């Protein structure tokens, strides 16, 4: 551990790098027959406020997820660490920040970091069976790790067939029961990732086979538009398609939970549900806004959590998943993690220091570097955009559908929409928002004199975190007022990405069990 990191841990009471928590030792290992099963269900590109239980007004949108929340605890202040699929899942698997694990984009662990332990490796060593449904390549940081059960997008109706998720999940649950082993299943819905249900993009995906439709499709007149997007016809149309995909995601969650019930193991299983980040629309996915990283995080654990509960006090983050899962399994503490277990919260205790979260972004799927760093608490959020030079144009997947094109067209006659389009494409070096009043980040207060004390405090907090975690963006942050220095930093970043290995292939993650011939 570096001296800087030790100093930061002392400064924050010796705890998690992200939250300044007290990092206590875990209990002695629990016997295998006493360990809970763990079912982690993830959605792909699902906004937190798209769930009924989180305030969505779209009718009958997520009854299965809402029911799960009624049986456990849901967190109001939960965040993923980075709002892009593979790095986010890399954080869940390693308990480390992307710049510490090396999984900054669509890559696996670098060759010099293969010694970083995975949550699945630790669980396997403790006797767990490890299974995965969907997003296999994105959720497997080491090509050498072989899942005990693995079915990917092609075997799951292109990741969108609830019945197939339930079928393979139930087979896995019963296998673990027959073998008298606890299980860890990571079940990853491919909804509501693009292409959205009923969209022109989805029509191309249907070639070669019909996709399972959601149990309900939505008309543009039935849905509510997120406040960070303008309410114009083609945006409304695309959001309706997104909500139809969200409905199918909920169908999948319901099917998985039913399969767990039918296996007879629901009472012995810790269930977590979360999204890997916000929707694939402007100002959400692949950014550092509130709607980029805030995730619905729901935990059900019979006999431990008496639901329904709502935690409005504690911040939890993606880096906290691995230590929490391992402690819940009764395993000994793992050194080198950036996160801290929130098991005490699940058991009804409070946990000091969980009052803020640090999030980040590195590069898009197109291997373009857009370094961003954020610190936010319950009221304020500060964002540093190292790449914003007034000339570089931000490009990501969120611009591929109807909404951004509609915003660009509307911008020709609407100054407010024009300003939003310009901000999304070019950004500014610093952004500061009062999220309590402005959760949609519509009013950048970075130059507002009355907020200067809060801005300076968050700048100082972010710098301390950068020093403690060895964040390479620190050098740019310290010289943020110099366009020349930022340009130099970005030239180095772009040179770095050219040397990175290209996007990994899914063939590296073959399952350790044979698949049915019918697949």
Question: pLDDT category, 8, cuts 50, 70, 90?
Answer: very low
Name the percent of the chain lying above pLDDT 90.
85
Question: pLDDT category, 179, cuts 50, 70, 90?
Answer: very high
Cβ-Cβ contacts under 8 Å for 57 (sequence gap 6 or more): 224
pTM: 0.92
pLDDT of residue 14: 32
pLDDT of residue 3: 43
pLDDT of residue 210: 82
**Averaged over 346-363, what is the pLDDT?**
97
Choose one of 355, 375, 408: the last residue of a domain. 355
Q: Is the pLDDT score of 111 beyond 90?
A: yes
User: For residue 472, what is the domain's CATH number?
Assistant: 3.30.1120.10
Is the domain of 321 the same as that of 343? yes
Is the domain of 282 the same as that of 402? no
**Averaged over 512-517, what is the pLDDT?**
39
Is the domain of 328 the same as that of 368? no
Query: Is residue 388 one of the residues assigned to a domain?
Result: yes
Structural domain for 312, as ranges: 33-355
Q: Is the pLDDT score of 29 beyond 60?
A: no
pLDDT of residue 201: 87
129 SS3 class: strand
Q: Is the pLDDT score of 20 beyond 60?
A: no
pLDDT of residue 307: 86
Secondary structure in 3-state letters for 437-490:
CCCCCCCCCCCCHHHHHHHHHHHHHHHHHHHHHCCCCHHHHCCCCCHHHHHHHH
Q: How far apart are CA 254 and CA 249, in angstroms?
A: 9
Question: pLDDT category, 498, cuts 50, 70, 90?
Answer: confident
User: In terms of Cα–Cα distance, which of 186, 135, 132 is closest to 160?
Assistant: 135
Is the domain of 249 the same as that of 385? no
User: In terms of Cα–Cα distance, which of 458, 453, 450 is closest to 430?
Assistant: 458
pLDDT of residue 7: 44
Query: Is residue 298 one of the residues assigned to a domain?
Result: yes
166 SS3 class: helix
Choose one of 355, 380, 406: the last residue of a domain. 355
Within 10 A of 440 (CB to CB), how many other CB atoms are there? 15
pLDDT in tens, 309-318: 999 999 999 9
Task: Assess contact for 374 and 358: CB atoms under 8 A.
Answer: yes
User: For residue 189, what is the domain's CATH number?
Assistant: 3.40.720.10
Query: Is residue 14 one of the residues assigned to a domain?
Result: no
Query: Is residue 468 one of the residues assigned to a domain?
Result: yes
pLDDT of residue 216: 98
For residue 225 the two structure tokens come to 């538009």
Is the domain of 271 the same as that of 385? no
Is the domain of 346 the same as that of 448? no
Q: Is the pLDDT score of 352 beyond 70?
A: yes
Q: Is the pLDDT score of 12 beyond 50?
A: no
What's the structural domain count of the chain? 2
Q: How far apart are CA 186 and CA 258, in angstroms?
A: 16
pLDDT of residue 518: 34
pLDDT of residue 19: 41
**Averaged over 227-237, what is the pLDDT?**
97
Query: Is residue 336 one of the residues assigned to a domain?
Result: yes
Segment (H or E) for 381: strand 380-385
Q: Is the pLDDT score of 93 beyond 60?
A: yes
Give the single-character DSSP code of 12.
T
Q: How far apart are CA 29 and CA 222, in angstroms?
A: 51
User: In terms of Cα–Cα distance, which of 153, 158, 106, 116 is closest to 132?
Assistant: 153
pLDDT of residue 159: 97
Q: Is the pLDDT score of 439 beyond 70?
A: yes
Is the domain of 229 the same as that of 249? yes
**Averaged over 229-256, what is the pLDDT?**
98
Query: Is residue 279 one of the residues assigned to a domain?
Result: yes
pLDDT of residue 499: 72
Question: pLDDT category, 516, cuts 50, 70, 90?
Answer: very low
Is the domain of 453 the same as that of 313? no
pLDDT of residue 503: 58
User: In terms of Cα–Cα distance, which of 156, 185, 162 is closest to 254?
Assistant: 162
Query: Is residue 515 one of the residues assigned to a domain?
Result: no
Radius of gyration of the CA atoms of the chain, in A: 22
Q: Is the pLDDT score of 266 beyond 70?
A: yes
Is the domain of 350 the same as that of 370? no
Per-chain mean pLDDT for the chain: 91
Query: Is residue 74 one of the residues assigned to a domain?
Result: yes
Is the domain of 327 the same as that of 346? yes
236-245, 280-289, 488-497: which has the minimum mean pLDDT? 488-497
Question: pLDDT category, 205, cuts 50, 70, 90?
Answer: confident
Choose one of 321, 355, 389: the last residue of a domain. 355
How many helical (H) and strand (E) elements, i.e. helices and strands, does the chain have? 16, 12
Is the domain of 264 the same as that of 374? no
Is the domain of 285 the same as that of 199? yes
Name the percent of the chain lying above pLDDT 70.
89
pLDDT of residue 244: 98
**Averaged over 375-403, what is the pLDDT?**
96
Question: pLDDT category, 502, cuts 50, 70, 90?
Answer: low
pLDDT of residue 514: 38
């Amino acid at each position: 551990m570096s001296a800087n990191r030790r100093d930061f841990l002392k400064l924050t009471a010796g705890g998690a790098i992200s939250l300044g928590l007290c990092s206590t030792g875990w209990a002695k290992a629990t016997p295998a027959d006493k360990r809970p099963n763990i079912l982690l269900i993830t959605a792909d590109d699902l906004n937190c406020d798209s769930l009924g239980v989180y305030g969505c007004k779209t009718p009958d949108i997520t009854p299965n997820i809402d029911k799960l929340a009624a049986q456990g605890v849901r967190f109001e202040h939960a965040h993923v660490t980075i709002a892009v699929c593979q790095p986010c899942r890399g954080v869940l698997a390693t308990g480390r920040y992307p710049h510490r694990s090396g999984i900054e984009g669509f890559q696996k662990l670098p060759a010099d970091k293969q010694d970083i332990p995975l949550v699945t490796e630790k669980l396997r060593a403790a006797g767990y069976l490890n299974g995965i449904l969907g997003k296999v390549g994105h959720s497997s940081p080491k090509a050498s790790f072989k899942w005990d059960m693995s079915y990917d997008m092609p075997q799951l109706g292109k990741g969108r067939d609830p019945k197939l998720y339930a079928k393979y999940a139930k087979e896995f649950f019963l296998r673990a029961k027959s073998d008298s082993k606890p299980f860890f299943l990571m079940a990853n819905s491919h909804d509501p990732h693009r292409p959205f249900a009923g969209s022109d993009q989805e029509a191309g995906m249907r070639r070669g086979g019909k996709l399972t439709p959601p149990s309900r499709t939505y008309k543009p007149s039935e849905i509510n538009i997120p406040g960070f997007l303008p309410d114009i016809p083609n945006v409304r149309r695309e959001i309706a398609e997104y909500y139809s995909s969200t409905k199918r995601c909920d169908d999948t969650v319901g099917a998985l939970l039913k399969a767990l019930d039918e296996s007879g193991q629901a009472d012995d299983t810790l269930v977590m549900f979360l999204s890997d980040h916000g929707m694939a629309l402007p100002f959400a996915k692949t950014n550092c806004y509130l709607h980029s990283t805030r995730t619905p995080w729901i935990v059900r654990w019979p006999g431990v959590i008496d639901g329904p509960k709502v935690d409005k006090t504690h911040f939890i983050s993606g880096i906290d998943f691995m230590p929490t899962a391992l402690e819940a399994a009764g395993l000994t503490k793992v050194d080198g993690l950036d996160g801290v277990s929130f098991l005490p919260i699940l058991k009804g205790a409070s946990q000091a220091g969980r009052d803020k979260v640090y999030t980040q972004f590195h590069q898009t799927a197109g291997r373009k570097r857009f370094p961003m760093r954020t610190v936010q608490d319950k009221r304020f959020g500060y964002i540093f955009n190292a790449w914003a030079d007034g000339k570089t144009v931000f490009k990501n997947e969120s611009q591929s559908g109807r909404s951004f094109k509609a915003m660009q067209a509307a911008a020709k006659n609407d100054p407010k929409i024009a300003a939003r389009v310009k901000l999304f494409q070019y950004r500014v070096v610093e952004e500061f928002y009062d999220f309590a009043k402005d959760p949609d980040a519509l009013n950048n207060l970075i130059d507002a004199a009355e907020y200067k004390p809060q801005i300076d405090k968050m700048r100082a907090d972010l710098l301390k975190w950068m020093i403690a975690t060895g964040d390479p963006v620190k050098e740019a942050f310290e010289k943020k007022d110099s366009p020349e220095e930022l340009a130099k930093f970005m030239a180095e970043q772009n040179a770095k990405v050219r040397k990175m290995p290209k996007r990994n292939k899914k063939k590296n993650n073959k399952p350790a069990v044979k698949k049915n011939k019918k697949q």
